[in-house]
Amino acid sequence: MSTDSGVLATLRATPTPVRYLLGGVLINQLGAFVQTFILLYLTFRGDALGIAGLSLAAYSVGSIFGTLLGGELTHRFGPRTTITMAMLASAPLVASIPFVATIPVVLFLVVGLAGLVTQTYRPAAAVLLSDLMPEEHQVMAFSMMRIALNTGAAVAPLIAAGLILIDWDLLFYLDGATALLYGLLAYLLLPRVEAPKDDEEKKPAVDARAAYARMAGDRKYLAYLAAVFLGTIAYAQSVTALPLEIVADKYPTSLYSAVLTVSSLVLITCELKITSYIVKIPQHIAVFAGHMVNSLGFVLYALAFQSGTFVILGAVFAVSGLMIAGPTMFAHPAKFPAEYKSRYIGTMQAVIGLASAIGPLFGVFTFNSLGGAFWIVIALVNGVAGLLAVYGVREAQKEPVEAGAA
């Protein structure tokens, strides 16, 4: 049993189309510059901070609706078509940003549409991954997808730093090029039909209203979504409030660079191995343990004023908790029946997008007002997320079938 769930066993069991899918995710993430650099780009050009902020808000709003749209399109047209359409639509939009940057209304529209279509591919990729990977390797497979995303997110700023030295506009040209490349690879290499399911009988189509009504009545899934929302807001403080903490405690900014480096290295190099152990224990225990380890990291941040060592230790615990709970949480919506799966995945990713947009605002506005209690509050919020997650994912493999039969 332990051999079947190991890293090497999972890699051997990974079908070739999944390798193409993960490679495409990595390529696209390597050029994902809009959300990270749009603020810096516009302020560098001399635009007002308000224009830059509204542009980022437009992208964030587009992203939230994009994941919902992606779930619906995947259900109607299939993952391959959705990924191809999303990336081919994203490429010209992001590449045109330098040409419309001087016209605010057009800029907001283009950036918002870029966020919408760019994020549409995510539910499709998750559905295709869950359809193609053997069930016993699903959590490991989603861990591999997370590694592809995180590797791209870690390397992209290094690429951006070199491009900026030449021309800021190159950021968006490369972003468009990687989206175009991913779209073409998806069209040429990904399977045209969903992976067959031997045990699945043909079922009548489920329309969007029925699917979302079912979701709204699923208390376990709503608890899971609440856990995702609170957990994402809590973890967002590692990139929002933690820099404020480092500045307030009069540490050099290089300490935050060290935190980012350590977190990325631990996440990329250790997640797959940790997941190989996590899949051997009940999933509700894994998500609870992960949230508790994560909360311990936030508590260590509260001690940052005493020594910068607590900042590094806090980062290690925070990212370790993410590795313990993350793969199971990320894979959970893919366990639902095929007629609901894409919409459940899309809704989960929309909740992540919403929390990612709210989290930084929450951190900025509450950090100063809460003072030394801030990180304790964040740890408690994350602890509540852990309890909700336990309720939401426990016996998840049985719940969807029972709920669907009811």
Instruction: Give the pLDDT score at 398.
Output: 44
Task: Compute the distance between CA of residue 71 and CA of residue 74 in angstroms, rounded to an integer.
Answer: 5
How many domains does the structure of the chain reveal?
Answer: 2
Q: Is residue 55 located within the same domain as residue 144? A: yes
Instruction: Give the pLDDT score at 406.
Output: 34
Q: Is residue 201 in some structural domain?
A: no
Instruction: Give the pLDDT score at 205.
Output: 63
Among 380, 346, 335, residue whose Cα is nearest residue 231: 380
Q: Is residue 18 located within the same domain as residue 157? A: yes
Instruction: Give the pLDDT score at 267.
Output: 85
Among 87, 95, 97, residue whose Cα is nearest residue 117: 87
Q: Is residue 75 in some structural domain?
A: yes
Q: Is residue 61 located within the same domain as residue 22? A: yes
Cα 227 to Cα 330, 348, 393, distances in angstroms = 12, 10, 10
Q: Is residue 202 in some structural domain?
A: no
Instruction: Give the pLDDT score at 197.
Output: 46
Amino acid found at 383: G
Single out the residue in 135, 159, 194 at which a domain terminates. Answer: 194
Single out the residue in 151, 166, 194 at which a domain terminates. Answer: 194
Task: Compute the distance between CA of residue 346 and CA of residue 176 in angstroms, rounded to an integer.
Answer: 23
Q: Is residue 190 located within the same domain as residue 216? A: no
Q: Is residue 200 in some structural domain?
A: no
Q: Is residue 10 located within the same domain as residue 48? A: yes
Q: Is residue 182 located within the same domain as residue 257? A: no
Amino acid found at 406: A
Single out the residue in 143, 161, 194 at which a domain terminates. Answer: 194
DSSP structural state of residue 134: -
Domain range for 103 is: 1-194
Q: What is the mean pLDDT of each run of 10 residues along the chain (406 residues)?
A: 61 86 91 84 82 87 91 90 94 94 92 93 92 85 88 86 90 94 93 53 67 90 96 90 87 84 86 86 92 95 90 92 91 88 92 90 84 90 95 66 40
Q: Is residue 302 in some structural domain?
A: yes
DSSP structural state of residue 6: S
Q: Is residue 157 located within the same domain as residue 217? A: no
Tokens of 356: 């990612």
Q: Is residue 139 located within the same domain as residue 243? A: no
Q: Is residue 203 in some structural domain?
A: no
Q: Is residue 113 located within the same domain as residue 18? A: yes
Q: Is residue 273 located within the same domain as residue 243? A: yes
Q: Is residue 42 located within the same domain as residue 78? A: yes
Exposure b/e, 80-109, CB count within 10 A at least 16 = b: bbbbbbbbbbbbebbbbbbebbeebeebbe
Q: Is residue 199 in some structural domain?
A: no
Q: Is residue 81 in some structural domain?
A: yes
Q: Is residue 182 located within the same domain as residue 288? A: no
CATH of the domain at 27: 1.20.1250.20
